[in-house]
Structure 1
Amino acid sequence: MSRMMNQAAVTMNQIQNKLDVIGNNISNNNTTGYKSRQTEFSSLLSQQIDNLNAPENVEGRLTPDGIRVGTGAGLGPIQLNQLQGSTTETDRALDAALTEENTFFQVNRTENGQEETVYTRDGSFFLSPIEGDTVALTTADGHPIIGNDGPIEIQDGFDAIELNDQGQLIVKRGDEQAAEAKLAIAEAIRPSALEAEGDNFFTVSAEADMDEIMQAYEGEDAVINPKALEQSNVDLSQAMTDMTAAQRLYQLNSRSISMGDQMSGLVNTIRS
């Protein structure tokens, strides 16, 4: 395969990865609390080809000798766009939208029999029955929400329940009401170190120092906007523009391979 065709093939593979990222953003345009992913291209390794016929010309030369030939383009690290999405009022008592960027709800997830703490911006909560007459505050998939004293669990039989702007779970029983639990909000000191996973969760890699990345939120103002949800921060028009540009780039590289193949065919038919 010629150098031109090899460069185009390598670049096409990376463009396909970019299209996958853009497609994932578009498909999650309506996902509560979703954070879009961003990608940038960078040049891959280049090869130095010496084209000097007279070594004596090297002396006093100001520009690098030879020709630098690249081997295509590749995607750099996928970055999370942590900008806050718009907020939509739902009037649902157990919906909550975080008011600050880089803050997260903590979720207790069990994977392969092991418990771990993951983070999410999705504040759509539910009550799930557990042992006896106790209910737990969970995600839509049943993962327990973590409060200041561990997973949030309360006694059933209440008349009303809602979250206030401080993240407290206010429970009304008869003529009395009290804060029976409080959400444990975490703040990302280094949000770029968070890794996105499925189900709209973020995690911290096992090799990272948790204390250098996450800490308990210590703000004194309202921590959540109750009865509301944060929408995805995907800019749909920009995503469609990026997809169109990537598709054009893919087509150009595909055309390069076709032209290279045609040129090779013409060369092979030449007779001296």
Structure 2
Amino acid sequence: MNRTMITATNTLSQLQKQMDIVSHNMANIDTSGYKRREASFTDLLFQQFNNQQNPAEEMNRLTPNGIRQGVGAKLAQSKIVMTQGSLKNTERALDMAFTKEGQYFRVLEQSDNGTAVRYTRDGAFYLTPLSESENMLVTGNGYPVLDENNNPITINGQVSDYLVTQNGRLVATMDNGTTREFNLGVVQVNKPQFLEQKGGNLLGLPENIADLNVAENEILTELNGQLRSEVSIQQRALEQSNVDMSKEMTDLINLQRAYQFQSRSISIADQMMGLVNGIR
């Protein structure tokens, strides 16, 4: 296999990863609170040939000295784009939407591997019964919604109405006229590049966070106490995804053209090798 084939093959594998990111964005265009991802590329290692032995001959050259022969490109980063999505009024009491970028609800994911705190912008919450008189606030996937102390929100008795204040306080009005109040668990994401997608429209801290030389409080800030004033929530609305279908389609077309170009490079290299091998 010659250098052209190696370069094209390396780049094809990385283009496939970007294509997966774009298709994932397009598949979640109607997912509430979803934040699209954007891929960026960088060059792989290259080899430099200093064909000009006399540096004086390189004066006034606009390009770097020598000849650089690369081995393709690689996917450098897949970052979350945290821009605010549009709001859709639902007139449903337990639908909530953030109106500030970077704020997330805390939920408790339960799986075969145990429980872990996750983060989501999807504010479509529901009640699931724990007993005849007790209900728990959960996400659409059934994960408990946490309060500011990381405890599941449970409500005893029959509720006649719900009110969600702008700073994230859930007020449940009972049938007997009394009220129960809960401060929803909210975090501000400072460094989204450290968060990983955990499936189900959830984000979480990486398992190897101890090896990344970064503290958890540098990535996230819990908006409790005096910081509650920074929370901005709108009730009876849901945030739509920030995916722009026209942009994703344009990126996909460009990706297809780049994929075809690299595939064509392999075909031409194979034809050239066939011609050389056929010389007698």
Letter in 2 for 1:198: G
2:130 is aligned with 1:127? no
Preserved contact between residue 168 and residue 179 of structure 1 (Cα < 8 Å): no
| 3-state SS of 1:165 partner | coil
Letter in 2 for 1:189: N
| 3-state SS of 1:146 partner | coil
Number of matched residues?
Answer: 267
* Equivalent-residue separation in structure 2 for 1:156 and 1:111 (angstroms): 29
* Equivalent-residue separation in structure 2 for 1:2 and 1:222 (angstroms): 58
- 1:204-247 deviation line (CA, Å, top 9, x unaligned): 22324211111122152662100000000001100000000000
| 3-state SS of 1:4 partner | helix
**Counterpart in the other structure of 1:187:** 188
What's the offset of the Cα at 1:58? Answer: 4.1
What's the offset of the Cα at 1:91? Answer: 0.3
* Equivalent-residue separation in structure 2 for 1:44 and 1:252 (angstroms): 18
Change (3 A) 1:97 1:254: same
Change (3 A) 1:268 1:129: same
Deviating more after overlay: 146-155 vs 166-175:
166-175
Deviating more after overlay: 129-138 vs 79-88:
129-138
**Identical columns (%):** 37
What's the offset of the Cα at 1:163? Answer: 2.6
Change (3 A) 1:66 1:166: closer
* Equivalent-residue separation in structure 2 for 1:209 and 1:108 (angstroms): 21
- 1:117-148 deviation line (CA, Å, top 9, x unaligned): 11000000000111452111000111110112
Alignment of 1:17-56 (within 5 A): 17-49=17-49, 51=51
- 1:164-217 deviation line (CA, Å, top 9, x unaligned): 333222222235242421212111122332222211111122324211111122
Structure 2: which 5+ residue stretches go unaligned? none
**Counterpart in the other structure of 2:236:** 227
Q: RMSD value over aligned CA atoms? A: 2.0
What's the offset of the Cα at 1:100? Answer: 1.0
2:272 is aligned with 1:267? no
Alignment of 1:37-116 (within 5 A): 37-49=37-49, 51=51, 57-58=53-54, 60=56, 62=58, 66-116=66-116
2:26 is aligned with 1:6? no
| 3-state SS of 2:68 partner | strand
* Equivalent-residue separation in structure 2 for 1:243 and 1:87 (angstroms): 27
**Counterpart in the other structure of 1:213:** 219
| 3-state SS of 1:83 partner | coil
* Equivalent-residue separation in structure 2 for 1:170 and 1:72 (angstroms): 57
**Counterpart in the other structure of 1:154:** 155
* Equivalent-residue separation in structure 1 for 2:175 and 2:72 (angstroms): 70
Change (3 A) 1:151 1:242: same
Letter in 2 for 1:148: E
* Equivalent-residue separation in structure 1 for 2:202 and 2:135 (angstroms): 23
| 3-state SS of 2:84 partner | coil
* Equivalent-residue separation in structure 2 for 1:240 and 1:171 (angstroms): 44
Preserved contact between residue 186 and residue 231 of structure 2 (Cα < 8 Å): no
Preserved contact between residue 158 and residue 175 of structure 2 (Cα < 8 Å): no
Structure 1: which 5+ residue stretches go unaligned? none
Letter in 2 for 1:109: E
What's the offset of the Cα at 1:262? Answer: 0.8
| 3-state SS of 1:34 partner | coil
**Counterpart in the other structure of 2:250:** 241
| 3-state SS of 2:229 partner | coil
Match of 2:259 among 239, 250, 255: 250
* Equivalent-residue separation in structure 2 for 1:241 and 1:219 (angstroms): 40
* Equivalent-residue separation in structure 2 for 1:100 and 1:132 (angstroms): 37
TM-score (norm 1): 0.91
Letter in 2 for 1:127: L
Letter in 2 for 1:172: T
What's the offset of the Cα at 1:109? Answer: 1.4
Deviating more after overlay: 156-165 vs 129-138:
156-165
Preserved contact between residue 124 and residue 139 of structure 2 (Cα < 8 Å): yes
